[in-house]
Amino acid sequence: MIAGSLMTGLAYWQVSLLRVLGVIAAVLLPAGTFVYAYLFKMVSFMQSRLGPMETGPYGSMQLFAEVGKFLQKEDLVPEKADRRIFVMAPFVVLLSTFLLYVSVPFGPDATFFGNGFSLGVFYALAVSSVSVLGILMAGWSSANKYSLLGGLRAAGQLIAYELPMVLAVVGVVIQAGSMNMQTIVVKQGADKIFGFGGIGFPYVLTQFVGFAIFMIAAQAELTQTPFDMPVAESELVAGYMTEYSGFRFLLFFIGEFATAGAFAAIASVLFLGGWSLPFSWFGWGHDVNSVGNWMNVAGPLILFGKIMILAFVIFWVRFTYPRFREDQLQRFAWKVLIPISLVNIMVTAILKVAF
Amino acid sequence: MTLLGDRQQLAYIASQAADARLNVELETEDMTLNIGPQHPATHGTLRIIARLDGEQVVWAEPSAGYMHRGYEKLTEVRTYPQVTALINRIDWLGSFANEVPFILAAEKLMEIEAPPRAQWIRTILFELSRIANVSLFLGDMAVQLGAVTPVFYAFRDREHVLNQIEAATGGRFHPNFDRIGGLKDDLPKGWIDETKGCMKKLRSFCDQMETLILGNEIFAQRTRGIGVIPREVALQYGLSGANLRSSGVDWDLRRDQSLPLAYDKIDWKVWTHPDGDSFARYWVRLQEVRESTTIVDKLLDSLPSGPIMAKVPRIIKVPEGEAWVSTENPLGEMGYYIVSKGDTGPFRVKIRSASFNNVSITPWLLRGAYVPDVITILASLYFILGDIDR
Amino acid sequence: MARFRERLGDALVDTHLKPADDLWLRIRTDAWLEAGRVAKDLGFTYFCFVSALDWLPSPYGKGEDDPTEPPPERTTAIVQGVTGGETRFQVLARVYDINAHVGVTLKTDVPDADPRIESWVSVFAGANWHERETWEMFGITFVGHPDLRHMYLPTDFEGFPLRKDFPLLARMVKPWPGIVDVEPIPAELDTDGDDA
């Protein structure tokens, strides 16, 4: 997250170091905030209880306490488990998360790849599938029937819900005319709806169907209820994560919330306008470079705000609904979501040509 | 402790042997899965051994007995008041209900009847224990299906009922309030109005559960048509309570037999449902809780005054004979068969507990079900381990 | 609706005895399964339970004896209950008629020398678990039961717990704590109320 003007003054290794720190911060910060705000507090209030109150003011230090607790646990690997794969699995899942974050633009110049990454959307969707591998690895190598069942369920579910996600995004791509995420953001900031530029043109207005499908598919990709068959707590204990404890479980845990943040980030970039506020407020045009530099600081914050809103919806649904059975889940994906998203693409294409 | 460890070891070895035998004999890929005994889904230590073919259950068998406390043997060496204290603990969620059939059977043998006020209050506490028990079910079945929030509402609203029970009897979970011939004490001051307020809260809780859960499409999809128990099978296995009524059998022991309880003095409705699936069981129980709140209100309105205890001797010796009384407990039909030889304690007590019969249908019911449906079915049958194992 | 007295037209029942406001029937031992079938045909389709009774008075009493004193004399006479009987063990079952709101308790003797009786599983499927439990607790074998094995107890448990000559181990292991040195209450503190 380096501003363009700073780049020239630093050596390459310094830039890389800052990038690494930046992405770690980008991953951990949303994860931590979600865990505290939503997992501890919001769900507690919804369930008419208070949540952690002791550690720090209003339980704010609970997160660090939990992290410390996980770190000091014994590192268990089950005897029959396939040791190498067992150890690698959480890292693969986290790898997918990090790769996702790297593609998200945080500001007009605050991106990891620069503004010319013309395959942003394609890359993001491709990389989000890597976590499926990690989950399968975890389920298989745990030498536990529950984990195996969980891993298989997860694989089926995640692959099934990739498609609606991709198709939902295609509508946005058609509308924006580009797969470059930065371009999509700029267009949402700068475009005018029928000549009215007051609110920019967030694609959620025309792509509401795509938005809904994307959020549902994201919920499924995150294996959150109502799609949390792989982690069905009251049936399979913890599904593919059953045998993990201590640090490795922490990696899965962080991965879950960080990926929630990543999907929320991508959704807000594609549908809500990412880091941009309507450009007409500031008199900027379509060119990225015309956006003021202060946006590089404010952009991430704005994006963060949008992420929080979307994540709120994700977690709200998670804590309210019962879960689908595996075959109902698949039926929902293949028979309902995919046809609707195909229709959405068709309509978008027709309207795009018409207007 | 060692006894349990040995049994678990034996059971584990047995299951491994069964697994090996199966794989060798049939050369199939069936997987033997153990659900329990420590498991978030089973209400206590119930172990279900299931053989799976993919995700479908081919054969399932519950293995009860992890909580067997030997009640029937214990009652032989205790006096009647001691037995009353003991049997509170059979169904620990609605525990006043356990005492009632026992006391009624003993009173039948002694041929005395409790005074009207005691009968009324007995009925009120009976209904309160039903509300306490079944309102937990409403939240509990949701959490088995994945909705984690309703169970907290259930616990929160159940606290009101438990507070009322505690105010009257002194014990939230184990009141031990019934005595042969009446009750231990009269109601405290202000209890009637407080309980009426409590019933209002519970009615709003029921409405909340109805919109939140019964109206949820995912819940409907998960429970409709799952675990259908046809009428004849239900009767054969002796299913009782809401399980029977949700299979279309109109049989409620409160209405269909005459006991010295106040049910025939007020109007109330028995709820049945024609499908025998899990959705029906949830629906019937929800309506029953609501109905119980109305029953309590009506009973509170018409509470007669008078003595709480009939004239009984200080040391109670129940005359010789045998008696059987069963009542409509929250979990189903619970009955006691008391054999007395004129002593201060019973000669033999046979405890017919509802969950024993309710769970005995699971081998038949679980064949062909998917693994998630196993959880749904078990949750909808609603058993308490103490009731199965006594 | 109350249960009312009714003479069942059971041709195969041996003796009808002692109906009170509840109905007990004692069946001849070899007609037990027949009785089950007849009951089901007559409309008693709801199966309540199957259990057993052991009429031997316990040789241990209540286990409340002072261990320092010799055990008192106890009667060992077997006196059966409501419908009479000739043996030590009796099997007990109850079924209901849902439509007529009538319940019937059926009893039958089990021969002492070889405690076996026919199983009701073919008539009422729910008898499966009840008979398993009765076998486990009393040692009465149910002929024709598909799967007679332990329900509650571990597989290698010896003995039949609910038989009266099987001691209640808790009372054997430790002397009953209820034996106290009873001192008479001093006269001025004697506030014996009338709470029962």
Q: Which of B122, B239, A15, A159 is nearest to C98 (CA)?
A: B239
Of A21-25, A83-87, A287-291, B53-57, highest mean pLDDT = A83-87
Q: What is the pLDDT of residue C67?
A: 53
Indicate if the pLDDT at residue A108 is higher than 80. Answer: no
User: What pLDDT shows up at residue C195?
Assistant: 35
Q: What is the largest CA-CA distance in chain C?
A: 68
Is the pLDDT score of B22 beyond 70? no
Report the pLDDT value the prediction gives residue A288, as an integer from 0 to 100.
67
* Range of A145-159, B11-25, B64-78, C97-111 with top mean pLDDT: B64-78
Report the 10 Å Cβ neighbour count for C23: 19
A46: nearest CA partner in chain B: B149
Lowest mean pLDDT among A137-146, A180-189, B173-182, B334-343: A137-146
Query: pLDDT grade, residue B1 (50/70/90)?
Result: very low
> What pLDDT shows up at residue A116?
72
Chains C and B are in contact, defined as 3 or more C-beta pairs closer than 8 angstroms: yes
CB atoms within 10 A of CB B205: 24
Cross-chain CB nearest to A226 (options B41, B144, B218): B218
Note every long-range contact of B285-291, with CB atoms under 8 Å and residues 24 or more positions apart, other chains counting: B285/B134, B285/B137, B285/B138, B285/B242, B285/B382, B286/B138, B286/B206, B286/B209, B286/B210, B286/B214, B288/B130, B288/B134, B288/B242, B289/B130, B289/B131, B289/B134, B289/B135, B289/B138, B289/B202, B289/B206, B290/B203, B290/B206
Confidence of residue C189 (pLDDT cuts 50, 70, 90): very low
Each residue of B256-306: pLDDT tens digit? 777 778 888 888 888 888 888 888 999 999 999 999 999 899 888 888 888
Q: What is the pLDDT of residue A239?
A: 66
Instruction: For residues A92-106, give the mean pLDDT.
Output: 86
Q: Which two tokens stand for residue C92?
A: 């007990």
Average pLDDT over residues B174-187: 84
Strand order in the sheet with C46-54: C15-16, C23-27, C102-110, C89-97, C46-54
pLDDT at C4: 41
Distance CA A104, CA A124 (A): 8
- Closest-CA residue of B relative to A324 is B218
**Any contact of C with A, at least 3 CB pairs below 8 A?**
no
pLDDT value of position B226: 83
| pLDDT value of position B23 | 40
Is pLDDT above 50 for B3? no
Could you tell me which residues come within 8 angstroms of residue B205 by beta carbon, excluding any fewer than 6 positions away?
A: B135, B153, B154, B157
Predicted pLDDT of residue C3: 39
C155/B74 CB distance under 8 A = no
Q: Which of A106-115, B359-368, C79-88 has the highest mean pLDDT?
A: B359-368
pLDDT band at C120 (very low <50, low <70, confident <90, very high): confident
**Mean of the pLDDT values across residues B249-253?**
83
Q: Given an 8 Å threshold on Cβ–Cβ distance, is A232 in contact with B370? A: no
pTM metric for this prediction: 0.80
- pLDDT tens-digit map of A339-352: 998 998 898 888 88
* Mean pLDDT value across chain C: 68
| Interchain proximity B10–C154, CB inside 8 Å | yes
Predicted local confidence at residue C21, as pLDDT: 58
Provide the pLDDT for residue C75: 57
* Contacts for C23 with CB less than 8 Å, ≥ 6 apart: C3, C5, C6, C8, C102, C103, C104, C105
Q: Give the ipTM.
A: 0.79
Average pLDDT across chain B, whole number: 81
**Per-residue pLDDT tens digits for B106-124:** 888 888 888 888 888 889 9
On the question of pLDDT at A207 being above 50, the answer is yes
pLDDT band per the 50, 70, 90 thresholds, residue C1:
very low
B9 confidence band (pLDDT: 50, 70, 90): low
| pLDDT score, position B152 | 85
C61 — pLDDT class (breaks 50, 70, 90): low
Tell me, yes or no, if B232 comes closer than 8 A to chain C by beta carbon: yes
Farthest-apart Cα atoms in chain B, separation: 73
The whole-number pLDDT of residue B69 equals: 83
Burial of B25 (0-12, 13-18, 19+ CB in 10 A): exposed
Instruction: Grade residue B168 by pLDDT with cuts at 50, 70 and 90.
Output: confident
Instruction: Concatenate the DSSP letters of all residues of A294-344 into one string.
Output: THHHHHHHHHHHHHHHHHHHHHHHHTTS-PPPHHHHHHIIIIIIHHHHHHH
The pLDDT mean for chain A works out to 80
Q: What pLDDT is stored for residue B47 in this prediction? A: 79
Interface contacts (A, B; CB < 8 Å): 75
List the one residue out of A272, A258, A275, A279 whose CA is nearest residue A115: A275
Q: How far is C173 from chain B (nearest CA, A)?
A: 15
Residue C180: its pLDDT value, please?
Answer: 55
Number of neighbouring beta carbons within 10 Å of residue C140? 21
Helical segments of chain B, H only: 2-26, 71-74, 80-87, 96-110, 116-145, 150-169, 191-209, 217-223, 231-237, 242-245, 253-256, 278-301, 354-360, 362-365, 371-381, 385-389
Q: Which amino acid is at B292?
A: S
Confidence check: pLDDT of C114 > 80? no
Which position has the higher pLDDT, B282 or C76? Answer: B282
Least Cα separation, residue B346 to chain A (angstroms): 42
